Amino acid sequence: MIPELGLFAVILAFLLAATQATLSLVGAQRGNATLMAVARPAAQGQFLFMVVAFGCLAYSFLVNDFSVLNVAENSFTELPKIYRFTATWGSHEGSMLLWTLILSLWTFAVTLWSRHLPEDMSARVLGVMGLVSTGFLVYVLLASNPFLRLIPAPTNGNDLNPLLQDPGMVFHPPMLYMGYVGFSVAFAFAIAAGRALFPGVLGVRLPAILAAAGFERDDIRVLFTTHSIPTAMAATSGPPGRFDVNGAYVAQHRAAIEAVLDEVRARGGAIPVWSLVYQSRSGSPHVPWLEPDINDALRDAHTGGMRAAIVVPIGFVSDHVEVVWDLDHELAATAAGLGVRLVRVPTVGSHPVFLDALAELVQAHLTGTPPEPAGPAPLMPS
């Protein structure tokens, strides 16, 4: 009866993990608070049932229930009780159950210490961890079931592997798994942070992650970067007399940044310390281009006390080779030399929100009703 109870607990944990993964991610995508609210209780219930399942297997070992195949193959009546308990994870099946138990423990910990995060961020994190748990629990149920019965039951077992009958084995596997499985938390935060466009990333996600890594908000700077051009070219961009000496080129980038920051405010995020910087300068060194260069800006900010930088390629729509070289190689090397933690926001690329916006603009022009430009001047005459 106890092994069947343990198996039933694993099944319930699987159902809760699948619910946690599905509803929380869908809720975060749709902004549905009711669905996102499912994440925490589902994760906590999953942990509870995994404790029950592991307890049932441990009990079967402690009472020498050789009708359980796992017990018969990895224990015997004369084995000391401490090693009967450690035999719970002395087999592949038991190790996988311990793995999923610790994974649920880490998920439970996230439910307790993520309450200061925005609800959609914590829902995404728990959703990703729910997906990971679902995968492992499916494997346990289909290919590594530790509760299989052996009928008829033998009177004694085969003994535990002598190499595992050591005091160190009481502590080593659980401590090892705590470290290994704990990386799932970092993975889940990384995946959750990568799901947002600029406003969500700047407003709540990356600052929250950097804060969790020990950085204060005042230690962080946001560098909005775009392609530098000659100052003479910038000055003549846009209708004459409508802009300052930097013309429409700089004005429209600043308008785009302000639109991002307005969205940050709307989401309740704090406005980060930011600046507009430039990259990809080329041509004659005697021809002045827009400044500051992003590498120079990073050095100056570091001198002023910055310890972490979030780089936002606001002037680019894809991670083409120039963006990758300038930011992921040259700037990354500069940051490493300064000891600055660098986080680079991806360009919008093929993100569905960006593609929808382009499709709406194309459709609007096809129907003869182009929308008003969001910036201070149209890029082209309408």
* Predicted confidence (pLDDT) per residue in 269-288, tens digit: 667 788 999 999 888 888 99
Q: pTM higher than 0.85 for the full model? A: no
pLDDT of residue 303: 92
pLDDT of residue 379: 37
Locate the DSSP E strands across 117-273.
220-227
3-state DSSP helix/strand/coil % of the chain, to nearest 5:
60, 5, 30
pLDDT of residue 193: 67
How many CB atoms are closer than 10 A to CB 229? Answer: 19
**For residue 20, what are the CA distances in angstroms to 35, 127, 374?**
9, 6, 39
- Domain borders along the chain are 2-193, 198-366
Question: Quick one: 339 exposed, middle or buried, by C-beta within 10 A (0-12, 13-18, 19+)?
Answer: exposed
Q: What's the 3-state SS for 210-232?
A: HHHCCCCHHHEEEEEEEECCEHH
Cβ contacts of residue 34 below 8 Å, gap of 6+?
Answer: 27
pLDDT of residue 200: 46
**What fold does the segment set 198-366 form as a domain?**
Rossmann fold (3.40.50)
List, for the chain, all residue ranges whose pLDDT scores fall below the cut of 50. 196-204, 212, 375-382
**For residue 52, what are the CA distances in angstroms to 58, 97, 203, 373?**
10, 11, 40, 60
pLDDT of residue 191: 79
Residue type for position 231: T
The C-alpha atoms of residue 372 and residue 144 are separated, in whole angstroms, by 60
pLDDT of residue 54: 96
Residue with tokens 């996102």: 36
**For residue 306, what are the CA distances in angstroms to 160, 283, 302, 321, 335?**
56, 31, 5, 28, 11
The C-alpha atoms of residue 228 and residue 315 are separated, in whole angstroms, by 10
The C-alpha atoms of residue 303 and residue 136 are separated, in whole angstroms, by 47
pLDDT of residue 76: 87
Query: pLDDT tens, 60-71?
Result: 999 999 999 999
